[in-house]
Amino acid sequence: MVAPARIITPEIAATYGVSTHTVTKEWARRPGWPEPVGKRGRYKEYDAAAVAEFVRASVDRQAVDLEPDRLYTAQDLEAAGIGIKAGTIRADLNRGRWPEPDDTDHGVNRWKGQTAAAAMRNRRSYRRSTEA
């Protein structure tokens, strides 16, 4: 019988393109994080398949279908489940990391679904590797 693949924090961080801080201080504190199955050096070992399942279920951003020509406010986009908060959209807009609005009638920023979808495709994704 082949033993299940085991993975430690630095390997998890490298596999998913995040920092070790994200793994230990954010992911490992969420419900559903797998229990350690051993220890290698100073790091706890985790079952690689269990970590991959946690990331798939709890971290990966799922693509959301937005109507291409419909106008959405930041709050509408958050409610549609695009994976980021309205406040993040507004902050990223101020920092030049989110596209300018397609419409600003009555002082309200609104983006077409196709604009928001393109912006989300360009955002960093936690999932960079299909390996588990």
pLDDT digits (tens, 9 = 90+) for 69-110: 999 999 999 999 887 899 999 999 999 999 999 999 999 999
Token pair of 36 as six digits: 């350690």
Identify the CA nearest to 78 among candidates 61, 58, 59. Answer: 61
Give residue 118's identity as a one-letter amino acid code.
A
Tally of structural domains, the chain: 2
Q: What is the pLDDT of residue 126?
A: 42
Residue 42 belongs to a domain? yes
Q: Looking at the structure, do residues 79 and 44 belong to the same domain, yes or no? A: no
pTM above 0.75, yes or no: no
Whether 1 is in a domain gets the answer no
Range of the structural domain that residue 78 is part of:
71-122
127 domain-assigned:
no
Q: For residues 78 and 105, state if they share a domain.
A: yes
3-state class of 79 per DSSP? helix
Q: Which amino acid is at 66?
A: L
Amino acid found at 54: F
Whether 131 is in a domain gets the answer no
Identify the DSSP state of 86: H
Q: Is there a single domain that holds both residue 49 and residue 75?
A: no
